[in-house]
Amino acid sequence: MTPSPRQKRPTIYDVAERAGVSKSLVSLVLQNSPRVSDEKRAAVRTAIQELGYLPSRAATALAGNRTRAIGVMIDDFRNPWFVDLLEGMQEVLNGPGFHVTVADANLNAHLEQSPTSGFLAAGVEGLVIGGDVDSVPAEGFPVPTVVAGNRATVPVGADLVANDDEAGARLAVEHLRALGHTQIGHVTGSGRAAELRRSAYDAAMREAGLAPRIIGGTGVTDQDEGRRASRELFERWPETTAVFAANDVMALGVLGTLDELGMRVPANVSIVGYDDSHLAGADHLSLTSVDDRSADVGRVAAELLLARIDGRLPSASELTASSELTVSGETCGVRRLIQPTLTVRGSTSVASRSS
């Protein structure tokens, strides 16, 4: 029997009363404990079936059973970076039968509690914090936690898997310089990843004896900010022949500005994005972009999380640093940076204007 939506959901106490046993004995049956007689076990299971009782994930977790639930908190559902991240995670988690619940921290910002509170109440076995999420407590969480892509806020004891943003920004600048561009601008937004890419762009330009041209950094890293920042960029430096955008979404805003100005890509201006999202590969865009291998970030994050859940990794204090797995500080977990590559498409070409 399954209770109808109008019926009161049966509780563990109802099961105990129907079976003529105690609540603790029902819990033992739910745990498959060998300490229950066959007769009592059969009575409890019959009561569960007759009442349509379904134990909550939280209760199951408290009883010592596996929920196989993973909570993932991100900072913006609109960012295609998270699509690839989640796909990479699912490839690893589907095999052992884990399921993922996702929450957007920004969409839930009006709530008094972080989405992680709901995850923990539901009995998740692990957490993944993706992107620049502000509502992450420094003291950490009571379950294994992996931070994916955000190198700013890493709770105590949490592991980190992220893209090497500095290396990616240097790839973009080196590619444009190899095409003969010297008047290279950069449009950026807020967040730790944007800060790292901006800093690396600035360093790469100065090392080459070129003047950095940076606009943005105060607003969100989205298409509107890309349009606003690039408009200001060309107002200040109209001779700019190439633009490196902090991500692919901002690059869309740059394309909008260039269309307004009557400039063609790449004939007049070359553009490089970051993330190599599905947007970059669209035929009508064909955007050269830094591939931060977000799916790989998701895969490694899921692998680390499963290892922590199963107790297969040593504590941070026992871990020996290596080229792939490194420890940074006494209270930190594993740190792994994924090396980016550059996917060259039709949005970049040899500089044609005076550069």
**Pair 238, 90 in one domain:** no
**Pair 287, 185 in one domain:** yes
**Pair 49, 158 in one domain:** no
Does pLDDT of 218 surpass 80?
Answer: no
**Pair 174, 214 in one domain:** yes
Residue 282: CATH number of its domain: 3.40.50.2300
**Pair 192, 271 in one domain:** yes
As a residue count, the chain comes to: 355
Domain count, the chain: 3
Does 349 map to a domain?
A: no
For residue 238, count CB atoms less than 10 angstroms from its CB and return exposed for 0-12, middle for 13-18, buried for 19 or more: exposed
Contact status, residue 289 vs residue 280, Cβ threshold 8 Å? yes
| 87-107 pLDDT tens trace | 999 999 988 889 999 988 776
CA distance 194 to 134: 15
Which amino acid is present at 63? A
**Pair 176, 281 in one domain:** yes
For the chain, what is the mean pLDDT?
84
**Pair 258, 197 in one domain:** yes
Residue 42: CATH number of its domain: 1.10.260.40
| 252-288 pLDDT tens trace | 999 999 999 999 999 999 999 999 999 999 988 999 9
**Pair 225, 176 in one domain:** yes
Does 351 map to a domain?
A: no
| 298-333 pLDDT tens trace | 999 999 999 988 887 644 443 333 324 443 444 457
User: Given pLDDT bands bounded at 50, 70 and 90, which one contains residue 113?
Assistant: low
Q: What angle do CA 212, 218, 223 make, to 5 degrees?
A: 90
**Pair 310, 244 in one domain:** no
Find the domain containing 335 and state its range.
69-164+294-339
**Pair 132, 224 in one domain:** no
